[in-house]
Chains A and B, each alone.
Chain A
């Protein structure tokens, strides 16, 4: 925003009012509301500039503001012409903040408690936190590059820019501690790095500074919800170290050894691209609209009028179809973000944990540019973090133990992400000691998960680690081994319509494989027919489908119907009765049984036929009629009609309670 430079507004009120202007110009507000807000904002801004001009410390750039009233009008005009949908970054609002002279920097000794000025706009503080987090994230990624290529100027500048930007905005918010920390961080990466190179102490200190920044930002963000503000415990220590590093002259030729712990191999992001911030609801609306377009086009293409009798028209329709498909792919891609951020975070965690546990671990990341729906990225991060903790804590042995076993002292942790037919597969492998089958089985027997004398297969034993309350850690550490863990991981991944599996070889290592769909917006489903109705059963719930023999059917106590499938006995759920559908096939031997599972519970759903497998865009069905038990959502099917997506766990729950709907004749 160039206009800020014309008027060096440092008054917070002025900045807040600029935000008000931007808010007021939001296109989704109605005219009356906008005008009132604009008027209010203009008043505040005018007042602020007047105060500023009246102050004795008016700067040299004063001459640029000849007539306050006129310049305000110019600002307003500029703002209105600037794209009103673009959210101004807080750092833009503040403009180029000058470097504070050292004397004005807060010192570690005598640092006042963390606080924000009373009149701080909560939204502004939130924006600052968001932005600071983005900067910290990009700085961390750049640090990993620097570690491999200490002379990479671009990476160093990324980190410096992060510190610099945070410093600028923090200064505006009067967060003196943050300003000081960021200031020293910046000069550490700048002048010091040029003198001493990026290694050892500087690298470690920069990372700690980033951590301290992040924790402080976290506290600031939480304070908006009324939580108490405080610097993280080691903030003062980090600041003091940074101050010392800034003050001590360089010792030529002294190159500290590389830090013990993990070294990361993260490919450099060479193809830097420009990005734009877009409101998520608009993005979602766009994706929805394109989905409609696909269906609308499908209907045209299916129309006999566009058939073989009219080759010219059918050629045009086919061409449009190609464009529509491309558009669809692209719009789905808009919400996709690479896993790189998550991978970087995991590498950092691995490094920290390894250091703490006295282990040497090398992290390898492959396929970090694999993309996933942005919502999914956040949701897979937690389970992955847990698995990394487990791998470092329990999987990889100490250097001494490894050498005794004839393994290299440095353990290896590999994170590999690939995309496969609508799914992202993330494999986390370590070359540690592997899972101890005997101990798992022993624990499972103690917990009653396996009956004494029972001999489960190898696979089933490994699968037991996902059972609730099973932990084989010999000792508790502060990072993992509290007996809650892999069951939560599996539950979280299943909630994403995904699955997690484990493979392990004693002494050679363990591999966890997570498989999740690219997006939650699209459900992979089996389209089934029940009478004249069609339903979508999410594929993740479907185990197998079969047509039973008469002999496989029996009933228990004249009540529940059961079906035998190999050695399993499953309850038979008559979907037509449960959902009140008339005219469905009621004889299982003439229809189809679909074995579905939700957690531990498995049942066989009676359906007329399976019409096919397809991906559908899940939409809410409750608009206007409340939540419907048994129905997870709705989707527009290929013919433009609505199909309902079954919520399998709820359907099974309904069946268990055996409350078939009785009033259906009135609805049909």
Chain B
């Protein structure tokens, strides 16, 4: 499956810019105090109180095996709806809402076996900018979510 043309919310992790379809985005909020949840995979940063709802936060840096870093002043939580639940994604900085045309979208480059690229559905180029387009329902993989539920399940080591 490749990415479709349309409006994308783009954000940064380090120097890399990513995009996700705007329809998947529920809201964007600042970083709230998080409560760590024991016995969950390292990319599960914890849970927050979003106006009375408890939602879990996934650290996209950890999820993508990027060098971890603590949230800074520009860090944001993008709340998305996936697998019938709301999940927050911790990102370094939200960039813009971009209109991406079909002509600008190329299929994801083959990155070799072992690379976690199944949630990468396309690469958008505009001028010198390269944006990696994500399928958010694959980023928050239902299988990943179940890892924590396995009794005594070994957590994935970072």
Contacts and interface: CB of A to CB of B under 8 A. Distances in A.
Interface of A: 288-289, 291-292, 295, 533, 578-581, 619-631, 634, 636, 640-644, 654, 657, 659, 661-664, 666-668
Interface residues of B, number: 40
Given A292-B52, A634-B47, A640-B49, A623 B87 contact: yes
Contact of B55 (A624, A629, A644, A664): A624
Contacts of B55: 623-624
Nearest to A295: B52
A627 B39 CA distance: 10
9 contacts: A621-B47, A623-B55, A624-B56, A625-B148, A626-B146, A641-B33, A657-B152, A666-B158, A667-B40
Contacts of A642: 34-35, 46-49, 54
Interface in B37-74: 37-40, 42, 44-49, 51-56, 58, 62
Contacts of B58: 624
A628 B148 contact: yes
A288 B52 CA distance: 7
Contact of B36 (A291, A654, A668): A668
A533 B46 CA distance: 12
Contact of A580 (B35, B39, B52, B54): B39
B56 A623 contact: yes
B5 interface: no
Given A292-B52, A654-B152, A657-B152, A628 B37 contact: yes
Contacts of B151: 629
B124 interface: no
Contacts of A624: 55-56, 58, 82-83, 85-87, 140, 145
Contacts of A662: 155
B147 interface: yes
A533 B82 CA distance: 28
A579 to B, nearest CB: 4
Contacts of A657: 152
Contacts of B33: 640-641
B39 A623 contact: no
Contacts, number: 114
A622 B40 CA distance: 11
B149 interface: yes
Interface string B76-110: 00000011011100000000000000000000000
Contacts of B39: 579-580, 628-630, 661
A628 B49 contact: no
B148 A533 contact: no
Contacts of B155: 661-663
A666 B51 CA distance: 28
Given A623-B86, A623-B87, A628-B149, A634 B36 contact: no
B35 A643 contact: yes
Contacts of B46: 642
A626 B53 contact: no
Interface of B: 33-40, 42, 44-49, 51-56, 58, 62, 82-83, 85-87, 140, 145-149, 151-152, 155-158
Given A292-B52, A631-B38, 16 more contacts: A621-B56, A623-B54, A623-B55, A624-B56, A624-B145, A626-B147, A628-B37, A628-B39, A630-B38, A634-B54, A640-B33, A642-B34, A644-B47, A662-B155, A667-B36, A667-B42
A627 B42 contact: no
A636 B52 contact: yes
Contacts of B36: 533, 667-668
Contact of A619 (B34, B40, B54, B158): B54
B149 A626 contact: yes
A619 B39 CA distance: 19
Given A634-B47, A642-B47, A579 B149 contact: no
Contacts of A288: 52-53
A626 B141 CA distance: 11
A580 B39 CA distance: 8
Nearest to A654: B152
Contacts of B62: 666
Q: Which of B49, B145, B146 has the most CB of A within 10 A?
A: B49
Contacts of B52: 288-289, 291-292, 295, 636
Contacts of B152: 629, 654, 657, 659
B141 to A, nearest CB: 11
A227 to B, nearest CB: 31
A628 B145 contact: no
B130 to A, nearest CB: 29
A533 B36 CA distance: 8
B54 A621 contact: yes
A667 B53 CA distance: 22
A626 B86 CA distance: 12
Contacts of A295: 49, 52
Closest 7 CB pairs of A and B: A292-B52, A626-B149, A666-B158, A579-B38, A624-B87, A666-B42, A627-B149
Contacts of B157: 663, 666
B83 to A, nearest CB: 7
A288 B51 CA distance: 10
Q: Which of A624, A629, A640, A666 has the most CB of B within 10 A?
A: A624
A644 B51 CA distance: 17
B38 A580 contact: yes
A178 to B, nearest CB: 41
